Amino acid sequence: MSYTGANSANSLFPKIFIVFGLGCLLAACATVPLTERRSLHIVSDSELLTMSVDEYSKTLKESKLSTDPQKVQMVKRVGERIAQATAELLKEKGLESEIQNYHWEFNLIDDPKVVNAWCMPGGKVAVYTGILPVAGNETGLAVVMGHEIAHAVAKHGNERMSQSLLAQRGGVGLSVARCTNASLTKDIFMQAYGAAAQVGVLLPYSRLQESEADHIGLVLMAKAGYDPREAIPFWERMNKEGGSRPPEFLSTHPAPESRIDNIKALIPEAMRYYRG
């Protein structure tokens, strides 16, 4: 090949690379159920689910599970009802194929100092006993679990991991980088979820994602037969619990006043799903 030809080929390669990368990023856009917001999902469901199962198992092994049968059964009962509501919502939105990705587990971790709960991709849920006094009753617990399961339904973890991957690898080069570095996604996942075994803190969500989880969570609890209006007194109790230093459950959430105002505005929509 002549020098001119080689130079031309070299100048063409970056353009092909950029077009390929942009195409991959566009293809990775997904729509959040209910809110219809477009979000970036670079990590495949299969990758995320495998890592989720591993980390969840590790968390359970390193934690003390509650032996209080009444509280354990309440957590499982609320979880199963919201799981059914999740399946119904996905069907209504034409996302039946995603139901198979959920292999639900609900565990109550005995740690009264941790006021928190979380849900990993695929429906791996943990509730800490420290949040039960704030929940107050089964409906209050449904507010908590509906909110956390909503994060999984909206795939907020995938979105945040995708943002982290983009930040580390510089945009359009990400697709090729992930193909040549299989450990990249695993590293980001551990940064996102690895702290769960210590204090139950997952990757901080943005305020937009938190508000979205409030929205979807209200609908899920309503479809599960829990009165969504009870979300308002729950968040009021949670805000009082925070004091000068908010619990981990609130550490990255919107300001208390604006959150409650937003929830009040969403109640009429959620009530349309409430079965009473």
Q: Which residues are the active-site residues?
A: 148
How, if at all, do strands 124-128 and 117-120 pair?
Answer: antiparallel
Collect all residues with Cβ–Cβ distance below 8 Å to 132 and sequence separation of at least 6: 71, 141
Collect all residues with Cβ–Cβ distance below 8 Å to 181 and sequence separation of at least 6: none
Looking at residue 245, what DSSP letter applies?
S
How far does CA 68 lie from the centroid of its chain?
A: 27
Q: Which amino acid is at 92?
A: E
How many separate helices (H) and strands (E) can be counted in the chain?
12, 5
Q: Rounded distance, CA 184 to CA 174, Å?
A: 10
How far does CA 245 lie from the centroid of its chain?
A: 23
The string of DSSP codes covering 110-126 is --TT---EEEETTTEEE
